[in-house]
Amino acid sequence: MSEPDDLANEPNHCGGSPAQGDYLDRLMRRASFAALWPLFAKATKPAKELTESFSALAHLRPLIRASEPLRVLHIGDGAHARTAALFSLKTRAENISVDPLVNEPLVEAWRTQFEVRRFEWRKSSIEDAALELAQLPPMRTLVTFVHAHVNVDRVLGLLNWHAAFTLACCLPGIQLSATHRIHHSGLDLNVLSAGRSYQVLLPPTG
Ligand SMILES: C[S@@+](CC[C@H](N)C(=O)[O-])C[C@H]1O[C@@H](n2cnc3c(N)ncnc32)[C@H](O)[C@@H]1O
């Protein structure tokens, strides 16, 4: 996949009326869906997983500036690194998926088959990967936590970052921030799971 989908032509419905099929319609209309499908088809509930990952893209997209180098760290991205995969096809950002459960043979084969660029992973806890990630060349950095089973405030304290998206599931007390500035937040009714509470976070000023 040489070029990402042109997001500039996609309507952003984040602030509009909720329509539960919206994210799936927007994904399935695009040629990139054929590449995404092998990863998502492995899930027990592919539609649910697609909408969770797309929620991160929909809510962070207003913070993605065209033509600016960008890195996106996807924390707790699961065995199949699906949110990193989605961002790799839909944006020009450098994507790094971080999860101790990453299925490396599977994601390597997927990256090769579809010639996906800007898609890496660390088969590691974020705690163990944080130092190496902090030493990467400086770049504007976004972070996603899609139903990640981590303490978001504590993990953000380990990273250099400029905005973050978190979608909570079974551990909202640690998956939602209690300390960071909130750019916007709410219930994303386009997410086809019970865990729909999200926040877009900004780092401390100064
Ligand atoms: C409910 S799964 C969500 C997976 C994926 N985001 C999804 O929506 O399909 C929670 C994930 O958090 C990961 N996780 C737990 N502790 C972690 C840590 N310290 N660093 C990175 N990932 C972690 C688990 O390995 C697991 O894959």
CA dihedral 39, 31, 88, 102 (to 10 degrees): 0
Nearest CA to ligand 1 atom 9: 78
Three-state DSSP at 62 gives helix
Choose one of 80, 99, 103 to mutate for the ligand 1 pocket test, by most ligand atoms within 8 angstroms of C-beta: 99
Per-residue H/E/C for 74-87 = EECCCCCCHHHHHH
- How far away, in angstroms, is 102 Cα from ligand 1 center? 9
**Structural domains in the chain plus CATH codes:** 22-202 (3.40.50.150)
In this structure, the residues whose C-beta lies within 6 A of any atom of ligand 1 are 49, 52, 75-78, 98-101, 125-127, 146-150
Q: What is the pTM of this model?
A: 0.93
Q: Which two tokens mark 192? A: 């086809």
Tell me, in angstroms, the distance from the centre of ligand 1 to residue 169's CA.
Answer: 11
pLDDT at 102: 98
> Atom 18 (ligand 1): residue with closest C-alpha?
125
Atom of ligand 1 nearest to the CA of 43: 9
Q: Please give the distance, rounded to the nearest whole angstrom, from the Cα atom of residue 75 to the centre of ligand 1.
A: 7
pLDDT at 15: 47
Bridge partners (DSSP) of residue 141 are 71
Query: Which residues touch 119 (CB under 8 Å, ≥6 apart)?
Result: 81, 84, 85, 88, 95, 97, 107, 111
Distance 199 CA to ligand 1 centre (A): 17
CB 180 within 8 A of CB 204: yes
**Beta carbons of 141 and 165 less than 8 angstroms apart:** no
Label the pairing between strands 140-146 and 70-75: parallel
Structure-block tokens of residue 163: 């905005």
**Ligand 1 centroid, distance to 110 Cα (angstroms):** 20
Q: Determine the pLDDT at residue 104.
A: 98
Predicted pLDDT of residue 21? 82
Provide the pLDDT for residue 137: 96
What contacts 165, CB < 8 A, 6 or more positions away? 55, 56, 59, 60, 142, 143, 144, 145, 146, 198, 199, 200, 201
The alpha carbon of 99 and the centre of ligand 1 are apart by a number of angstroms equal to: 6
115: left (phi over 0), alpha (psi -120 to 50) or beta: left
Predicted confidence at residue 31, as pLDDT, reads 85
Index of the ligand 1 atom closest to the CA of residue 101: 25
**pLDDT tens digit at each of 206 positions of the chain:** 545 764 544 444 444 455 578 999 999 999 889 999 999 998 999 999 999 999 999 999 999 998 899 999 999 999 999 999 999 999 999 999 999 999 999 999 999 999 999 999 999 999 999 999 999 999 999 999 999 999 999 999 999 999 999 999 999 999 999 999 999 999 999 999 999 999 999 999 86
